[in-house]
Amino acid sequence: SYELTQPPSVSVSPGQTARITCSGDALPKQYAYWYQQKPGQAPVLVIYKDSERPSGIPERFSGSSSGTTVTLTISGVQAEDEADYYCQSADSSGTSVVFGGGTKLTVL
C-alpha cells in the first residue's frame, strides 16, 4: 500500500524556522495537504494544494513541493506552534486518501 513518510520529530527554538518533510512516490502527481493537531483537539488544515494557505492561518506557515518530497515550513516558530503535523495526499489510483505518520514539533 502507498505510504507517506515523515520524520517522527522536529525540534526548534522560538523564532527559528522549522521544516517538516513528507516523502511519497506519487507526490509529483498528487497534491499534498498539511494538518496541525494539538493534544485533545481535531486536526486543523494549515496548507492545501501543496502551498496554499487557508484563511485564518498565519503567514508564517508555508508549503512547497519538489519531486517526491513536500515540505511544510514554519518561519519564526512560536510556542503555540508546538503540535503534531500530518501530511495528506492521494494514492496513485486517486481514490484513496493517505496520511503520513505525523511529525511532533517541539518548541524548545
Catalog residues that contact another protein under the rule CB under 8 A.
Answer: 1, 30-31, 33, 35, 37, 41-45, 48-49, 54, 86, 88, 90, 94-102
- How far does CA 2 lie from the centroid of its chain? 17
Q: Which is nearer to another protein, 30 or 71 (CB)?
A: 30
User: Which is nearer to another protein, 19 or 29 (by Cβ)?
Assistant: 29
For residue 5, the minimal CB distance to another protein (Å) is 12
81: Cα within 13 Å, side-chain hemisphere:
29
What minimum distance in Å lies between the beta carbon of 60 and another protein? 20
Cα torsion 86, 10, 66, 85 to 10°: value is 10
Q: How far apart are CB 17 and another protein at their closest, in Å?
A: 24
Closer residue to another protein in complex, CB, 1/13? 1
Q: How many residues does the chain have?
A: 108
Contact between 36 and 83 (Cβ < 8 Å): yes
